[in-house]
Structure 1
Amino acid sequence: MLSEQSTATVRATLPVVGGAIGEITERFYAGMFAARPELLRDLFNRGNQAAGTQRQALAGSIAAFATYLVDRPDERPDAMLARIAHKHASLGVTAEQYALVHEHLFAAIAEVIGEAVTPEVAAAWDEVYWLMANALIAIERRLYDEHGGAGFREWEVVERVAETADVATFRLRPADGRPAPDFRAGQYVSVQVELADGARQIRQYSLSAAPGSPIRQFSVKRVHDGASPDGEVSNHLHARVHVGDRLHLSAPYGDLVLGETGTGAGFETDAPLLLASAGIGVTPMVAMLGQLADAGHQGPVLVVHGDGSPAEHALRADHEGYAGKLPGASVHFWYERHTGRAAEAPAFDTTHRTGLVDLTDIAVPKGTRAYLCGPLPFMRAVRAQLIGKGVAPADIHYEVFGPDLWLAQEG
Structure 2
Amino acid sequence: MLSPTSTDVIRATLPVVGAAISDITTLFYRKMFDAHPELERDLFNRGNQKQGEQQKALAGAIAAFAALQLEPDQARVDLILSRIANKHASLGIEPSQYAIVHTHLFAAIVEVLGDAVTPEVAAAWDEVYWLMAETLIAMEAGLYASAGVAAGDVWRDVRVRERRHESADTVSFVLTSLDGSPLPSFAPGQYLSVAVHLPDGARQIRQYSLSSAPSRGDWRISVKRAGEVSNFLYHNVFEDDVVTVSTPFGDLVLQDDDAPLLLVSAGIGCTPMIGMLSHLADTEDSRPISVLHADRSASSHAHRAELTELVERLPFAVMHRWYEDLGARRPEGSLREGRADLGEVTIAPGTRAYLCGPLPFMLGMREALLAKDVPAENIHYEVFGPDSWSATV
TM range (shorter): over 0.9
* Cα distance in structure 2, aligned partners of 1:41 and 1:356: 38
- CA-CA distance at 1:130 after TM superposition: 0.6
Alignment correspondent of 1:214 = 217
Question: Does residue 243 in structure 1 map to residue 228 in structure 2?
Answer: no
- CA-CA distance at 1:76 after TM superposition: 6.7
* Cα distance in structure 2, aligned partners of 1:74 and 1:242: 45
- The residue type paired with residue 131 of structure 1 is L
Q: What secondary structure is seen at the aligned counterpart in 2 of 1:89?
A: helix
Alignment correspondent of 1:253 = 249
Question: Does residue 201 in structure 1 map to residue 184 in structure 2?
Answer: no
In the comparison of the two structures, how many residue pairs are matched? 390
Question: Does residue 294 in structure 1 map to residue 294 in structure 2?
Answer: no
* Cα distance in structure 1, aligned partners of 2:92 and 2:99: 15
Task: State how 1:3-402 maps to structure 2 within 5 Å.
Answer: 3-72=3-72, 77-147=77-147, 148-149=149-150, 150-223=153-226, 231-259=227-255, 267-269=256-258, 271-339=259-327, 342=329, 351-402=334-385
Alignment correspondent of 1:263 = none
Checking the alignment, whether the CA contact within 8 Å between 1:157 and 1:171 is kept in structure 2 is yes
- CA-CA distance at 1:146 after TM superposition: 2.0
- CA-CA distance at 1:191 after TM superposition: 0.2
| Per-residue CA distance 1:124-151 (angstroms, 9 max, x = gap) | 1111101110000011111112222223
- The residue type paired with residue 193 of structure 1 is V
Q: Report the TM-score when normalising by structure 1.
A: 0.92
* Cα distance in structure 2, aligned partners of 1:34 and 1:174: 38
Q: What secondary structure is seen at the aligned counterpart in 1 of 2:388?
A: coil
* Cα distance in structure 1, aligned partners of 2:104 and 2:90: 23
Cα 1:387–1:73, aligned 2, differ >3 Å: closer, same or farther? closer
Q: What secondary structure is seen at the aligned counterpart in 1 of 2:341?
A: coil
Q: What secondary structure is seen at the aligned counterpart in 2 of 1:408?
A: coil
- CA-CA distance at 1:159 after TM superposition: 0.6
Q: What secondary structure is seen at the aligned counterpart in 1 of 2:79?
A: helix
- CA-CA distance at 1:339 after TM superposition: 2.8
Q: What secondary structure is seen at the aligned counterpart in 1 of 2:201?
A: coil
* Cα distance in structure 1, aligned partners of 2:330 and 2:323: 13
- The residue type paired with residue 236 of structure 2 is R
* Cα distance in structure 1, aligned partners of 2:180 and 2:103: 42
Q: What secondary structure is seen at the aligned counterpart in 1 of 2:293?
A: strand
- Larger deviation: 52-61 or 319-328? 319-328
Q: What secondary structure is seen at the aligned counterpart in 1 of 2:391?
A: helix
Checking the alignment, whether the CA contact within 8 Å between 2:90 and 2:246 is kept in structure 1 is yes
- CA-CA distance at 1:343 after TM superposition: 7.9
Question: Does residue 403 in structure 1 map to residue 386 in structure 2?
Answer: yes
* Cα distance in structure 2, aligned partners of 1:296 and 1:73: 38
Cα 1:337–1:75, aligned 2, differ >3 Å: closer, same or farther? closer
- CA-CA distance at 1:71 after TM superposition: 1.0
- List gaps (5 residues or longer) in structure 2: none
- CA-CA distance at 1:176 after TM superposition: 3.8
Checking the alignment, whether the CA contact within 8 Å between 2:182 and 2:218 is kept in structure 1 is no
- CA-CA distance at 1:63 after TM superposition: 0.6
Q: What secondary structure is seen at the aligned counterpart in 1 of 2:387?
A: coil
- The residue type paired with residue 94 of structure 1 is E
Q: What secondary structure is seen at the aligned counterpart in 2 of 1:163?
A: strand
* Cα distance in structure 1, aligned partners of 2:78 and 2:88: 15
Cα 1:118–1:73, aligned 2, differ >3 Å: closer, same or farther? farther
Checking the alignment, whether the CA contact within 8 Å between 2:80 and 2:391 is kept in structure 1 is no
- The residue type paired with residue 257 of structure 2 is E
- CA-CA distance at 1:178 after TM superposition: 3.9
- The residue type paired with residue 275 of structure 1 is L
Aligned alpha-carbon RMSD (Å): 1.6
Checking the alignment, whether the CA contact within 8 Å between 1:189 and 1:252 is kept in structure 2 is yes
Checking the alignment, whether the CA contact within 8 Å between 2:298 and 2:323 is kept in structure 1 is yes
Runs of at least 4 residues off by over 6 Å: 73-76
| Per-residue CA distance 1:66-105 (angstroms, 9 max, x = gap) | 1111111777711211110000000011100000000000
Q: What secondary structure is seen at the aligned counterpart in 2 of 1:77?
A: helix
- CA-CA distance at 1:17 after TM superposition: 0.3
| Per-residue CA distance 1:313-336 (angstroms, 9 max, x = gap) | 101122111111222211000000
- CA-CA distance at 1:297 after TM superposition: 2.0
Alignment correspondent of 1:264 = none
- Larger deviation: 22-31 or 3-12? 3-12
- Larger deviation: 245-254 or 288-297? 288-297
Cα 1:36–1:288, aligned 2, differ >3 Å: closer, same or farther? same
- The residue type paired with residue 321 of structure 1 is E
| Per-residue CA distance 1:209-243 (angstroms, 9 max, x = gap) | 011112210000011xxxxxxx2111111111111
Cα 1:294–1:75, aligned 2, differ >3 Å: closer, same or farther? closer
Identity of aligned residues (%): 55
* Cα distance in structure 1, aligned partners of 2:143 and 2:195: 19
* Cα distance in structure 2, aligned partners of 1:358 and 1:343: 18
- The residue type paired with residue 388 of structure 2 is L
